[in-house]
A and B are shown apart, each in its own frame.
Chain A
């Protein structure tokens, strides 16, 4: 098979916006990732729950960042997305006041919707009856509102949707946006994801299903992907928004992409509501589909930004997948050791991190990897950042429901 021209397949990442526990802004995020310093801590708002540790965005002041009206009208899940979008647009050098909004699409991922809005409405109905409920809940709880608010703020009148594939949502969103760009229905896409899950109901339930790390006496050590002593994930809030354009368009307007997205693969395990298929057959289908889409051989992948949740089942299954399929023995990192697991937003954050990794030729270390699980035999980067020239990388995301998504990013400088 001959390699396709970039215009056929490649979509450029021309803007990155990150609002995560590692900081507000891509620069702050990157520095924190390289430091390997975890962000998990005891969370006063979760006091009294069996697991009261989480990763929150530090110093997030919606009134200062978005205006006072937005600070009370919008659920945090939309506020995080708006702040990330603001940075991504500035980074891409785009001005929404002058663009042809009809050609701008928005595709975001999310798993849980406006959890705080829902809980407040539930409490109001319980305590004050039906007359006590805020009507704003119906423009904050539903997942679609997140991309809707971006459309309103930036006059983005093209295709607009939120995709939900649990913890794969962020990668699904970027992959879907790429398909929209390639089909020609829009020229610019704001793609990414947002999640604000740190409310009491989802946190209690994630604990009840055994997914969360119970290392509450030592929060900073709780998220430890691939480590022998890992015992679950630490939940996080976050958003990432990327500006995507067809590579030819991006280069024609003189921009230098952070990286280019050249492949996307998606699949379903069809195995279990929450546990990954231990054979890894479903995730392997997604990975191989992404490689085929990118027209790359398994040995071409130099680096993996892993799903790496710090749960026993995922990390073992994923390491076996990498070992089995990616013949070149790529470097592997899980940035969740620093950020925790931002669920539906995780994939978008990690695509952004993978783009920065490819661009900078530097792999951030996996935090808290003190002693690798003896059953894991892949090259996980730990301790300090590792310089590496990366031609192609994959970013993996696997969701409850058995929904899997893999993206291939390539170095923009080598094209």
Chain B
């Protein structure tokens, strides 16, 4: 099953669209975060919003390993499952 059908992925897609102006069609697992203007500072901002909206904890230091949307999804999904 593709991660794109997971509720967490869909929620991330919604939040990136509504809060960060990233169109849904650009949110694919292989999308490189820098290509949608999510540099390291912006990614911390994204994580703050995801934490609030999803009620999870994401450590800032864990974000540095995220290069793609799939990496970000993985981080959030682990946080959701652990919450």
Instruction: Please indicate the chain B residues that have their CB under 8 angstroms from the CB of A135 in the complex.
Output: 41, 44-45
| Contacts across chains A and B counted by CB atoms under 8 Å | 27
Across the interface, name the chain B residue whose C-beta is closest to A138. Answer: B41
- Per-residue CB contact flags for chain A residues 124-167 toward chain B (1 = under 8 Å, else 0) read 00000001101110010000000000000000000000000000
- Chain A hits for B44, CB < 8 A: 134-135
CA distance A69 to B35 in the complex (A): 12
Q: Does B42 contact A (CB under 8 A)?
A: yes
Q: Does A208 contact B (CB under 8 A)?
A: no
| A-B residue pairs in contact (CB < 8 Å), sample of 13 | A68-B21, A68-B22, A69-B22, A69-B37, A72-B19, A72-B21, A132-B48, A134-B44, A134-B45, A134-B48, A135-B44, A136-B45, A139-B41
What residues make up the interface of B, taking CB atoms closer than 8 Å to A?
Answer: 19-22, 37, 41-42, 44-45, 48, 60
Main secondary structure of the interface of B (DSSP, over half): helix
A71 within 8 Å of B by Cβ? yes
**Whole-angstrom distance between the Cβ of A274 and the nearest chain B Cβ:** 36
Q: How far is the CA of A71 from the CA of B20 in the complex (A)?
A: 9
A interface list, Cβ under 8 A from B: 63, 67-69, 71-73, 131-132, 134-136, 139
CB distance from B47 to the nearest CB of A (A): 10
Query: Once the chains bind, are B45 and A71 in contact (CB under 8 Å)?
Result: no
Min C-beta distance of B63 to chain A, whole Å: 11
In the A-B complex, the 9 residue pairs with the closest CB atoms: A68-B21, A69-B37, A135-B44, A135-B41, A134-B45, A136-B45, A69-B21, A136-B41, A72-B20
Other contacts beyond A72-B20, A134-B45, A135-B45: 8, CB < 8 A: A63-B21, A68-B21, A68-B22, A69-B21, A69-B37, A72-B21, A136-B45, A139-B41
User: Would you call A73 and B42 a contact (CB within 8 A)?
Assistant: yes
Q: Could you say which residues of chain A place their CB within 8 Å of the CB of B45?
A: 134-136
Q: Which residues of B contact A68 (CB under 8 A)?
A: 20-22
Residues on B with beta carbons closer than 8 Å to the beta carbon of A73: 37, 42
Kindly state the separation between the CA atoms of A136 and B20 in the bound complex, as whole angstroms: 13
Q: Within 8 Å CB of A69, what residues of B?
A: 20-22, 37
Which A residues are in CB contact (< 8 Å) with B60?
131
Q: Which residues of A contact B48 (CB under 8 A)?
A: 132, 134
Chain B hits for A132, CB < 8 A: 48
**Chain A residue nearest to B44 in the complex (CB):** A135
The CA-CA distance from A132 to B58 in the complex, in Å, is 11
